[in-house]
Structure 1
Amino acid sequence: MAILLVSSVAGCVTPDGSSPALGGGRDLAPEEKKIIADAVGRVIKEPGSAKFRWAKFPAAASGDVNYCASVNAKSPLPGYSGNQLYIAVVGTENGRVKSAVVGAIHGGSDAHVVRNLCKRYGLNPDDAV
């Protein structure tokens, strides 16, 4: 069983209509990581114990963009604890993260679901460090 929270993930790309290139982008600032971590924290158990791996964020992001990374956390669903891939719709303003909502999060044998969503946008959650 998978957690799908937002069905509109497929509609978000960079403002010019393209997908961010794999491996490109910038590091997130601590306050930006907190916004994304808070969004992920709403869909996992014990968010305070979660260990995040952060991917690069599109350098010229504007408006709503997709972001893919991973978190080692407890899932509210049995059998899904451990490393989980997620895709979030991230709202930006002046190139900075201002809001985030998790579109999908999956671990274990269902991680391919998020990996495939991320690939559609040229993103790879396995690039997260």
Structure 2
Amino acid sequence: MKLKICGAIIGCLAMVAASGAAARELSPKEKGVIEQAAKQQLKDPDSAKFYWQDYKGGDVYCAHVNAKNSYGGFAGKALLLVGVKTDSKGNITSADVSIRSDNMMDKICTKRGYSA
């Protein structure tokens, strides 16, 4: 019985370690790809402040941006839902960005382990 419990604990720890190992910080080049795609949709792209999260792999990445609106005030953090394409090494090479200030896309991000 003790052997089964010990095996289950080791298995759980291995799964946690494996899932944590996949997340990584974006490189400056990857951030630039996402920023360029996001800024095309903003009223004042030079005012954009990005709030990055670790990339968890796959074809979706989530982060946040706060930028000035047409009245000149900051609009508040909005969700960046990013469809990404990666190269053979897993580096992000292109991005298709949707900026949302409602909760419509939160589930997509939280399902993939990002904070919404």
TM-score (norm 1): 0.63
Higher RCO (Cα < 8 Å, 6 or more apart)? 1
Partner secondary structure for residue 34 of structure 1:
helix
> For residue 73 of structure 1, what is the aligned residue in structure 2?
67
Contact 1:35 1:98 in 2 (8 A): yes
Task: Decide whether aligned partners of structure 1 residues 44 and 25 sit closer, same or farther in structure 2, where only a CA change above 3 A counts.
Answer: same
TM-score (norm 2): 0.69
Unaligned runs of 5+ in 2: 1-18
Deviation readout 1:76-127 (Å, 9 max, x if unpaired) = 6xx992211111001110211100011x3222xx2x22212212333224xx
Task: Decide whether aligned partners of structure 1 residues 24 and 74 sit closer, same or farther in structure 2, where only a CA change above 3 A counts.
Answer: farther
Query: If you compute each CA radius of gyration, which structure gives the higher value, 1 or 2?
Result: 2
Q: Distance in 1 between matches of 2:34 and 2:25?
A: 13
Unaligned runs of 5+ in 1: 1-20
Report how many aligned residue pairs link the two structures: 95
Partner secondary structure for residue 77 of structure 2:
strand
> For residue 123 of structure 1, what is the aligned residue in structure 2?
114
Structure in which a larger fraction of residues adopt helix = 2
